[in-house]
Chain A
Amino acid sequence: MIEVQALSKRFGGVPAVDGVSFTVAAGEVFGLLGPNGAGKTTTLRVLATLLAPDGGSARVAGHDVTQEAEAVRRVIGVVNGGMGLYDRLTGREILHYFGRLYDMRAADIDRRILELDALLGLGDALAKRAGTFSTGMKQKVVIARAVLHDPPVIFFDEVTSGLDVMARRAVLDVVRAYPSEARAVVYSTHVMSEVEELCDRAAVLYRGRLVAEGTVAALVEQGGESNLERSFFRLVERSGLAEREAEAVPA
């Protein structure tokens, strides 16, 4: 479903993503694991056609992200922790607005809203204006909007940051339930336990580079530690990127 080949992106000469390659198959939840500044968000923004890559290539559901940007946008859904809603529109109005942008008919949008209400428990959020939503309610509508057109590929970027335990659980359940034979998820996070719970495979990113890739069990094994978190640090250490970062920082 997703093929990323030697992808690079620089901001003002500084590499944010540096030669990253990976593939994601249908039915998979693929994790992008790394600390802040690792290049996760930039990678997802390139895949979502928001940023143009400086090097390499990427295809999403068969469409090239630079040559067929509009086609890519039709087959993806994007959710990130910082995404907001139109405060003066109700949940239903927001979903209708975005549904129409995907050329969905009003009746189809209503039918899909019923399905998503059953899945996510949108409840009052459909009739209330978004400005009155709690953080959890807001995130549910953000997710509903992202999956409204039933995209084959969906990107989640740090979606649980700032959520309470109940809302976080609801979001994780949706992520886990989403993939099917025809659908794939890319899940970006710095929370190891979320990768362990959700991801079939994951890539460890650090300072724009892909340090390791594989199933969670394979990553733990590559790190040679007892759990993913310890292995993550070991993998970063072995890559030599952490030392280079320390050398670059003046004492």
Chain B
Amino acid sequence: MIRRVAGKDVLSTLRDTRAIVSNLLIPLILLPVVMLGLPFLLGGLFLRETTTVTPLGALGLEHAPAELIALVEAQAATLERVDDPEAAVREDRYPAAIAIPEGIREALAAGEPVTLDVYRKTGNMRSELNAGKLEAAVAGYRQQLVSERLELAGIDPALLEPLRIQARDASTEAERSSGQLSWLIPFFIAIWALTGGQMAAIDATAGEKERGTLEVLLVAPVRRAEVVVGKFLATTLFGLWAAVMAIIGFVVGGLVLRSLFLPGLDAASAEMVGMMGGQLTITPTMVALLVVSAVLLAALIAAVLIGVAMFARSFKEAQTYVAPLSFLLILPAIGLQFRDLIGIGEALYWVPMLNAMVLMDDAVKGAATLNGVVITWLSLSLAIAALLAFALRNFKREDVLFRT
């Protein structure tokens, strides 16, 4: 009987073109585009900006030492004369500018300190990037001057650097390649489980009420529990379908984009892509953990959706009830970005919904522990059972069934 109820809901939702598009096509396309396409695009733009020779403004260009001009040109930039460097940058005539004071050569020859003003628009990525070129050139020139002066004074430059720092990366390969934005994967799976399940759940509950078909179903010899479980399975299936499409989209999109674009990027751009998650290493364990967690998360979301949407009198009303659920998913996803700062203890694996996202994040980073997996899956299963009991109670309440 459960299979028959679920089968009807699946067939009915499958014939809804909007459901197919939102369940299949969008997650299949959106995740690779955002997760991988965006970093690759940014990497490409970064590469273009760092290699293209950019004209930058300079006040007092005639005073500039030749060595400094050469170092600026080495940074893929040229200096052009401006009268007001601040206005030139503010009005977007140049992405960055420098002010070279009169008498710089004499002051340097006398060993006096000289201040060079570098103008930029804070928060403007292109401006910051080009101001960086000017600062790198000035830093290079400063280093050159220091070396010359020390040499003249007969001092070994090593004396100025008695201690050195060597940064060593202790993270695993999976952690390194998962990047800063690895939290997007659990977030997308959760959001698509919600989006995919939502349409089926509302159609199967408030939609049935609105159409006047629920009453017909309830006078048929079907137990309320069978109705609830049937609708829950159909909702889970669609939520899961969308989530799996998102995972497939990610895996296939990642492979294609990586093989097409990564070889064309220079080391710095490739590093940026990697930092943002563009070089994720997919392992069978990771996929298994993601899939099982996605199944349980989709089931949890489906149970919530069925229980909540049943209260509504109409499709529209149900949509307003389930809309806040996306915040329940967004908040933990935002928290995941700062999980290393917050510090995640084992207790967190008992919190349904949040635990699935944390575990998926662990899986992506190759950091899942047996305890984390067991606690998360157990907690999710218990929460699903409790939510199904809540949904069943709603299906038995006369004030819910005949709310007008």
Assess the A101–B221 pair: CB atoms within 8 A.
yes
Q: In the complex, which residues of chain A have a beta carbon less than 8 angstroms from the beta carbon of B223?
A: 70
Q: In the complex, which residues of chain B have a beta carbon less than 8 angstroms from the beta carbon of A101?
A: 1, 4-5, 217, 220-222
Q: How far is the CA of A129 from the CA of B212 in the complex (A)?
A: 16
Assess the B219–A48 pair: CB atoms within 8 A.
yes
Assess the B8–A88 pair: CB atoms within 8 A.
no
The residue in chain B whose Cβ has the minimal distance to the Cβ of A83 is B212
In angstroms, how far is the closest chain A Cβ from the Cβ of B213? 5
Stretch with Cβ within 8 A of B (4 or more), from A19-27, A92-100, A118-126, A205-213: A92-100
Assess the A74–B221 pair: CB atoms within 8 A.
yes
Q: In the complex, which residues of chain B have a beta carbon less than 8 angstroms from the beta carbon of A241?
A: none
Assess the A80–B221 pair: CB atoms within 8 A.
no
On whether A73 and B1 interact (CB within 8 A), knowing A84-B212, A86-B211, the answer reads: no
Q: In the complex, which residues of chain B have a beta carbon less than 8 angstroms from the beta carbon of A86?
A: 8, 12, 211, 213
Q: How far is the CA of A102 from the CA of B217 in the complex (A)?
A: 11
| B347 contacts chain A at the CB level, 8 A cutoff | no
In angstroms, how far is the closest chain B Cβ from the Cβ of A140? 15
Q: How far is the CA of A89 from the CA of B217 in the complex (A)?
A: 15
The residue in chain B whose Cβ has the minimal distance to the Cβ of A82 is B212
Q: In the complex, which residues of chain A have a beta carbon less than 8 angstroms from the beta carbon of B218?
A: 50
| A51 contacts chain B at the CB level, 8 A cutoff | yes
Q: In the complex, which residues of chain A have a beta carbon less than 8 angstroms from the beta carbon of B402?
A: 45, 50-51
Q: Mark B204-220, 1 if CB is under 8 A from A, else 0.
A: 00000001110111111
In angstroms, how far is the closest chain B Cβ from the Cβ of A49? 7
Assess the B221–A88 pair: CB atoms within 8 A.
no
The residue in chain B whose Cβ has the minimal distance to the Cβ of A9 is B398
Q: Which of A45, A51, A84 contacts B213 (CB 8 A)?
A: A84
Q: In the complex, which residues of chain B have a beta carbon less than 8 angstroms from the beta carbon of A97?
A: 4, 8
Q: In the complex, which residues of chain A have a beta carbon less than 8 angstroms from the beta carbon of B11?
A: 88-89, 93
Number of CB contacts from chain A to chain B under 8 A: 69
Q: In the complex, which residues of chain A have a beta carbon less than 8 angstroms from the beta carbon of B12?
A: 86, 88-89
In angstroms, how far is the closest chain A Cβ from the Cβ of B392? 15
Interface range on chain A: under 10, 10 to 19, 20 to 34, or 35 or more?
20 to 34
Q: Which of A83, A87, A129 contacts B216 (CB 8 A)?
A: A83
Assess the B216–A73 pair: CB atoms within 8 A.
no
| A76 contacts chain B at the CB level, 8 A cutoff | yes
Q: How far is the CA of A153 from the CA of B1 in the complex (A)?
A: 23
Assess the B15–A78 pair: CB atoms within 8 A.
no
| A85 contacts chain B at the CB level, 8 A cutoff | yes
Q: How far is the CA of A88 from the CA of B401 in the complex (A)?
A: 23
Q: Which of A52, A78, A84 contacts B219 (CB 8 A)?
A: A78
In angstroms, how far is the closest chain B Cβ from the Cβ of A246? 26
In angstroms, how far is the closest chain A Cβ from the Cβ of B399? 8
The residue in chain A whose Cβ has the minimal distance to the Cβ of B396 is A52
Q: Mark A59-85, 1 if CB is under 8 A from B, else 0.
A: 000000000001001101010101111
Q: State which residues 218-232 of A face B: CB under 8 Å.
A: none
The residue in chain A whose Cβ has the minimal distance to the Cβ of B12 is A88
- Residue of A51, A83, A93, A145 with highest tally of chain B CB at under 10 A: A83
Q: State which residues 194-234 of B face A: CB under 8 Å.
A: 211-213, 215-223
Assess the B215–A83 pair: CB atoms within 8 A.
yes
In angstroms, how far is the closest chain B Cβ from the Cβ of A31? 20
The residue in chain B whose Cβ has the minimal distance to the Cβ of A75 is B221
| B148 contacts chain A at the CB level, 8 A cutoff | no
Q: In the complex, which residues of chain A have a beta carbon less than 8 angstroms from the beta carbon of B15?
A: 88-89, 129
Q: In the complex, which residues of chain A have a beta carbon less than 8 angstroms from the beta carbon of B222?
A: 73, 101
Q: In the complex, which residues of chain B have a beta carbon less than 8 angstroms from the beta carbon of A82?
A: 212, 215
Top 8 A-B pairs, shortest CB-CB distance: A84-B212, A84-B211, A88-B15, A101-B220, A73-B221, A74-B221, A82-B212, A83-B212
Q: Identify 30 residue pairs between A and B in the complex whose beta-carbon atoms are under 8 Å apart, listed by A's number.
A: A48-B219, A50-B215, A50-B219, A50-B402, A51-B398, A52-B398, A73-B220, A73-B221, A76-B219, A78-B219, A82-B212, A83-B215, A83-B216, A84-B212, A84-B216, A85-B213, A86-B12, A86-B213, A87-B211, A88-B12, A88-B16, A89-B8, A89-B11, A97-B8, A98-B216, A101-B4, A101-B217, A101-B221, A101-B222, A145-B216
Q: List the interface of chain A (C-beta within 8 A of B).
A: 45, 48-52, 70, 73-74, 76, 78, 80, 82-89, 93, 97-98, 100-103, 129, 142, 145
